[in-house]
Structure 1
Amino acid sequence: MTLVAIGINHKTASVSLREKVAFGPDILADALKSLAAQTRTGEAVIVSTCNRTELYTNQVESEALVQWLSQFHNLDEAELRRSIYLHTGQKAVQHLLRVSSGLDSLVLGEPQILGQIKKAFFDARDTGTIAHTLDRLFQHTFKVAKQIRTETEIGTSAVSVAFAAVNLAKHIFDDLSKSKVMLVGAGETVELVARHLTERGVTDIIVANRTLARAEGMAAEFGATAVTLPQIPEHLHECDIVISSTASPLPILGKGMVENALKQRRQQAMLLVDIAVPRDIESEVGDLENAYLYTVDDLQGIVEKNMASRLEAAEQAELIAQEQSVEFLNWLRGLDSVATIRAYRSQSEQLKVEALQRAVERLERGDEASAVVNELANKLTNKLIHSPTQALSKAARSGDLDSLELLRSALGINDN
Structure 2
Amino acid sequence: MLVCVSASHRTADFTLLERLAASGGGSALHLDDPEVRGAVVVATCNRYESYLDVDTGTGTDTDAAAESVIARALDRIATRAGIDPTELRTRTRTMRASRVAAHLFAVASGLDSVVLGEDEIAGQVRRSLAEARQGGTTTPSLERLFQMASTTSRGVKNTTKINAAGRSMVRLALDLAETRLPAWQEAKVLIIGTGAYARTTLAALRDRGVGVVDVASPSGREQRFALREGVRAVPTSERTEALRRADLVITSTNVLTLTAPDLTEAQRLPGHPMLVVDLGLPANVSKDVAHLHGVDLLDLETISLHAPVQELNASAEALDLVDQAAQEFEQRSAEDAAAPAIVAYRTHVEQVLEAELARARARGDADDETERALRHFASVLIHTPTTRAREHAAEGRLDDVVAAMRTLYGIETFGTQGTADI
- What TM-score bracket applies, with the shorter chain setting the length? 0.5 to 0.7
Distance 2:241 2:124 in 1: 35
Q: Identify which of 223, 247, 257 aligns with 2:234.
A: 223
Distance 2:5 2:351 in 1: 46
In the alignment, which residue of structure 1 is the partner of 2:162? 152
Query: Where do 1:110-149 residues align within 5 Å?
Result: 110-149=118-157
8 Å contact kept, 2:7–2:93: yes
The residue identity in structure 1 corresponding to 2:162 is: T
Report how far residue 65 of structure 1 moved: 3.2
Q: 1:4 to 1:339 in 2, by over 3 A?
A: closer
CA RMSD of the aligned region, Å?
5.7
Report how far residue 85 of structure 1 moved: 0.7
Any idea what SS the aligned residue of 1:4 has? strand
Q: 1:219 to 1:313 in 2, by over 3 A?
A: farther
8 Å contact kept, 1:18–1:53: yes
Greater Rg over alpha carbons, structure: 1
8 Å contact kept, 1:9–1:53: yes
8 Å contact kept, 1:20–1:73: no
Report how far residue 101 of structure 1 moved: 3.9
2:35 corresponds to 1:38: yes
Distance 1:320 1:254 in 2: 49
Q: 1:165 to 1:79 in 2, by over 3 A?
A: closer
Any idea what SS the aligned residue of 1:336 has? helix
Any idea what SS the aligned residue of 2:11 has? coil
The residue identity in structure 2 corresponding to 1:137 is: L
- Percent identity, aligned pairs only, is 19
Any idea what SS the aligned residue of 2:5 has? strand
Report how far residue 323 of structure 1 moved: 1.9
Report how far residue 350 of structure 1 moved: 1.7
Q: Identify which of 242, 254, 257 aligns with 2:247.
A: 242
**TM-score normalized by the length of structure 2:** 0.52
Instruction: Return 5+ residue gaps in structure 2 as ranges.
Output: 57-62, 223-232, 251-259, 277-289, 298-302, 389-422
8 Å contact kept, 2:27–2:50: no
2:214 corresponds to 1:205: yes
In the alignment, which residue of structure 2 is the partner of 1:261? none
8 Å contact kept, 2:346–2:382: no
Q: Residues 230-265 of structure 1: CA distance to partner in whole angstroms, max 9, x if unpaired?
A: x96xxx6xxxx73489999xx96567xx9xxxxxxx
Any idea what SS the aligned residue of 1:311 has? coil
Report how far residue 120 of structure 1 moved: 1.2
8 Å contact kept, 1:93–1:325: no
Distance 2:16 2:354 in 1: 65
Distance 1:244 1:125 in 2: 35
In the alignment, which residue of structure 1 is the partner of 2:52? 57
Any idea what SS the aligned residue of 2:247 has? strand
Report how far residue 121 of structure 1 moved: 0.8
Instruction: Return 5+ residue gaps in structure 1 as ranges.
Output: 187-191, 208-215, 259-271, 282-294, 297-302, 393-416
Matched pairs, number: 313
**TM-score normalized by the length of structure 1:** 0.52
Q: Residues 284-314 of structure 1: CA distance to partner in whole angstroms, max 9, x if unpaired?
A: xxxxxxxxxxx99xxxxxx99x968x42436
